[in-house]
Amino acid sequence: MQEDEYWIALLSSELNYNSYTFNYENRNKFDLKSKLFYLINVEIQLHKILQPNIPFTVVSADLEWFGPSISHEIIHIFLEFCGISQIWLDFFDRFLKQPIYYKPNENICQRQRSVPISHSLSCLFAELLLFGLDLYIYQNTDIFIYRLHDDMWFFNS
């Protein structure tokens, strides 16, 4: 269940030209959340029976405004770490640092953080960063994070 339904669930297994929105393939996001709550409930009940004297902790987090808060520098560092070539790093930097026009005859600003809304590259950058977080936590704690984009849950005793 972890690997099949929650491990990088957002990324599509095929290219969808009709939509650049988040893709949970043929899954309903609410069904996934219901399954997760059911799983957490089962884990709590099992823990009460098997280890009644040890506390059981469930943590839920939502990275509110995640896309608008992503630093371009962090994306660049993470992509470098992943071994992306310089030509692609330059392309991604140009994509991310698009000029912003607020009003005519005012200064043109350059975007320093956030990713463009509803673009497939934005989805990729967000998922890569969250995947890095998932992997770091799993490698250091052996705790699997159940995640639906920027909403995450984990539990352990």
| pTM metric for this prediction | 0.70
Predicted confidence (pLDDT) per residue in 40-84, tens digit? 999 999 999 999 999 999 999 998 888 888 899 999 999 999 999
Report the percent of the chain where pLDDT is more than 90: 34
If one counts every other C-beta atom within 10 angstroms of the C-beta of residue 65, the result is 10
Report the percent of the chain where pLDDT is more than 70: 81
Length of the chain: 157
Predicted confidence (pLDDT) per residue in 15-50, tens digit? 554 544 444 444 555 678 888 899 999 999 999 999
Residues 6+ apart with CB under 8 A from 20: 118, 119, 120, 123
Least confident of 6-10, 23-27, 92-96, 147-151: 23-27
Domain ranges of the chain: 2-65+142-156
According to DSSP H, which parts of the chain are helical? Answer: 29-50, 66-69, 72-81, 86-96, 120-141
Q: 3-class SS at 62?
A: strand
